[in-house]
Chains A and B, each alone.
Chain A
Amino acid sequence: MTVVEEEHPTVPLWRQGLRVFAENRLALVGAGMFVLLAALSFLGPLFYHTDQVHTDLTAVNLPAGSPGHPLGTDGVGYDQLGRLMLGGQTSIIVGLAAGVLATAVGTIWGAVAGFAGGWVDSAMMRVVDAMMSIPALFLFMLLAAIVTPSVPMLIFIIGAFAWLGPARLVRGEALSLRSREYVQAMRAMGGTGGRAVRSHIVPNAIGTVIVNATFQIADAILYVAYLSFLGLGVPPPAANWGGMLSDGLADTYSGHWWLLYPPGIAIILIVLAFNFIGDGLRDAFEVRLRRR
């Protein structure tokens, strides 16, 4: 394949990728699930007004299907459907933001380490090894015990330690990319290392990075759930699906199923959605590989 063909393919690469993504039914299902859950959380409250700040002790634990409360109410009288919407906002925002933050930090770290090579690479990767050897949940809990958890804090805590996976991944890509001819040609013509990272390594690794980011988002949503279950989530009246689910655990024996299954199913659906999207994107980005 010549350079001219590479620059003027008959169908733009991104459109081919989009087509592959669209042909992947599972990926479309994932995207659809995400859009529905996001619409429920962010647009739902515009049509379905509930008070999620003041408790109502005259209407606690109403079963699902009660007049005015299609999903019932919880132990302090919050409407469960409204709470599901509010909780979804937190879960989705923290998941997206922490996933993106982790991916950004990890990409830069990995690209620099992989491109620099030598002892810089060794030093940077040993730091990653050390942080990775502390199980993530232990680190998150340690930090959550030091600071007072709030939404920005949760994003920071999860983002600050979830970048290790992407860093390893991008470093591997960078190691193989930096020995490619076009990067060496640019270097021979006097291009700087920074330019190699900026204009060759990061753009070429972007497919791997984006695919990984979707899995990071899914994991971040699960981590918020775990922190909430362990009592270190966002305090009420704020809510997230993980917190609602762990509150619902206490009601298992009283048979209040409407407090347990809706947030549980919501978490499973959103994590599945991002996994489906990630699998679809991986196939879409492999278009580039297929053309070679």
Chain B
Amino acid sequence: MVRYLITRVGQALIVVALVTVIAFVILHLLPGGAARATLGKEATLDQLAAFNHTMGYDKPWIQQYLLYVQRLLHGDLGYSFQLNQSVLEAIVQRLPKTMVLSLLSTLLAVVVAIPLGVIQAVRRNRWPDYAITSLSLLAYATPIFFMGLLMIILFSQVWPILPPEAPQGFTVAEVLADPAGLVLPTITLAIVTVAVYSRYVRSAMVDNLNENYVRTARSKGLPERRVILTHTLRNGLFPIIGLLGMYLPALFSGALVVESLFNFPGMGQLFWQAALKRDYPILLGVTVIIAVATVVGSLVADLLYAAADPRVRLRRSAS
């Protein structure tokens, strides 16, 4: 386990370092460079040169990169002149709200997907399996914003029981104080996730149902209910832990769309508005933070998976 832990943490650190390289390269791909992006079209050459000098952009590339990393390590992600706020401050305000949305919808997705996947595996290649598979495919093929809109039409227009807008509170506490507003965004984000997760639970359960220990349990005369719910399900659930980590990037992409649609002031909306206004410091800062969150999230999921299922760490440290 210790060896697996060291390898996995080492890999994660390398990945984070590479992410900073990618962000740095993109910063220099900007049309006219960062100076032009910050000062705008009207800036004179002298102003650009002065800005480049203050920011250290006239130094050699290697030195600039080291400077960039040094600033990152000190929590200096840059300054958004459009928001008149440091990037870190803007992110700290919004990240918790995105976390609330992501956590709630993941929780909902897991709670719904596990029973669905189990039903599919137990009744595989019969109508319950086909019905759930078709619905999953349909959910997967529907753009999230269209799904969200259908939700709004259904639950706020045709049958007005829920507000069409997400909570507008400034803090997490204020957001949680308006649970009705959270319902539609959470469900919308969860639906696509359910489609992906239930497929995994189904195949993990099908694999396990063919194992010898299941046959043993059955031949001991255990009721089918116990064979499935206690023996098979426990093993079938392990892959879900790993999947939670793997699915993080897709979850954040989905949150970005859901936040824009329901006007939820989280990271996704911050990023979206920055993209429309070409606010590059915010764009790069959010990208780095989201990437680090993804790496840390998958690392935690992988370690939990390995802790829960010894086969994983044995297989992986052997290869």
The residues of A with any CB-CB pair to B shorter than 8 Å are 126-127, 129-139, 141-146, 218, 222, 225-226, 229-232, 242, 245-246, 249, 252-253, 260, 264, 267-268, 271-272, 275
Select A130's contact among B22, B29, B271, B280, beta carbons within 8 Å: B22
Judged by a CB distance under 8 angstroms, whether B26 is at the interface is yes
If A134-B249, A135-B249, A135-B256 touch, does A272 touch B137 (CB 8 Å cutoff)? yes
Distance A13 CA – B250 CA, assembled complex (angstroms): 37
The 3 closest A-B pairs by CB, nearest first: A130-B18, A137-B253, A271-B141
B12 to chain A, nearest CB (A): 9
Q: Decide if B92 is an interface residue (CB 8 Å cutoff).
A: no
Known interface pairs A218-B141, A230-B275, A252-B153. Does A133 touch B294 (Cβ–Cβ under 8 Å)? yes
Within 8 A of A (CB), among B6-57: 11, 14-16, 18-19, 21-22, 26, 29-31
The contact sample of 5 A-B pairs, CB cut-off 8 A, is A138-B287, A138-B290, A141-B283, A245-B145, A264-B142
Contact flag A134-B18 (CB < 8 Å), given A245-B143, A271-B141: no
Given A138-B287, A226-B257, answer yes or no on A252-B143 (Cβ-Cβ < 8 Å). Answer: no
Measured CA separation A271–B142 after assembly (Å): 8
Secondary structure class of chain A's binding surface, majority of residues: helix
Picked from B143, B249, B275, the residue with its CB within 8 Å of the CB of A142 is B275
Closest chain-A Cβ to B89's Cβ sits at a distance in Å of 20
Give 18 A-B pairs besides A130-B18, A141-B283, A142-B283 with Cβ atoms closer than 8 angstroms: A126-B11, A130-B291, A132-B249, A134-B22, A135-B294, A137-B253, A141-B256, A141-B271, A145-B278, A226-B143, A231-B275, A242-B143, A245-B145, A245-B146, A249-B145, A267-B146, A268-B138, A275-B141
Chain A nearest CB: distance from B204 CB in Å? 19
A230–B140 alpha-carbon span in the complex (Å): 19
**Docked CA distance A143–B149 (Å):** 27
B291 engages A133 (CB within 8 Å): yes
A272 touches B22 (CB 8 A): no
With a CB–CB cut-off of 8 A, which chain A residues contact B79? none
Nearest residue (CB) in B for A129 is: B15
CB contact under 8 A between A229 and B257, given known A218-B141, A271-B141: yes
Chain B window 127-149, contacts with chain A (Cβ cutoff 8 Å), 1 for yes, 0 for no: 00000000001101111111001
Tell me if B200 is interfacial: C-beta within 8 Å of chain A: no
User: Is A127 a contact partner of B283 (Cβ separation < 8 A)?
Assistant: no
Smallest CB gap from A144: residue in B: B275
Most buried by A among B16, B138, B271: B271
- Chain B residues with CB under 8 Å of A249's CB are 145, 149
Q: B62 at interface (Cβ–Cβ under 8 A)?
A: no
- CB of A133 within 8 A of CB of B257, answer no
| Chain B residues near A (Cβ < 8 Å) | 11, 14-16, 18-19, 21-22, 26, 29-31, 137-138, 140-146, 149, 152-153, 157, 248-250, 252-253, 256-257, 260-261, 271-272, 274-276, 278, 280, 283-284, 286-287, 290-291, 294-295, 298
Report A118 CB to chain B, min CB distance, Å: 13
Contacts of B287 in A (CB 8 A): 134, 138-139, 142
**Interchain nearest-CB distance for A30 vs B (Å):** 11
Q: Which residue of A lies closest to B276 (CB)?
A: A231
User: Are B295 and A222 within 8 A (Cβ)?
Assistant: no
Question: Is A138's CB under 8 angstroms from B253's CB?
Answer: yes
Quote the shortest CB–CB distance from B29 to chain A (angstroms): 6
Of A136, A231, A267, the contact of B143 (CB 8 Å cutoff): A267
Q: Are A141 and B272 in contact (CB under 8 A)?
A: yes
B275 engages A137 (CB within 8 Å): no
Q: How far is the CA of A249 from the CA of B248 in the complex (A)?
A: 27
CB distance A230 to B257 under 8 Å?
A: yes
B140 touches A229 (CB 8 A): no
Q: Does B29 lie within 8 Å of A133, measured CB to CB? A: no
CB-CB < 8 A to A130: which residues of B?
Answer: 15-16, 18-19, 21-22, 291
Q: Are B275 and A229 in contact (CB under 8 A)?
A: no
From residue A28, how far is it (CB to closest CB) to chain B in Å? 16
In the assembled complex, the Cα of A225 lies from the Cα of B252 at a distance in Å of 17
Q: Which residues of B sit under 8 angstroms from A144, Cβ to Cβ?
A: 275
CB of A138 within 8 A of CB of B286, answer: yes
Given the interface pairs A133-B249, A145-B275, A232-B275, the reply to whether A222 lies near B286 with Cβ below 8 Å is no
A231 and B26 alpha carbons, distance in the complex (Å): 21
A133 to B249, CA, bound (A): 6
Cβ-defined contact, A146 with B30, below 8 A = yes
User: Looking at the complex, which one of A230, A242, A267 makes contact with B260 (CB distance below 8 Å)?
Assistant: A230
Q: Which of A142, A229, A232 lies at the interface centre, i.e. has the most chain B CB atoms within 10 A of its CB?
A: A142
Docked-complex contact B141 and A272, CB < 8 angstroms: yes
Cβ contact of B249, chosen from A136, A146, A230, A275, cutoff 8 A: A136
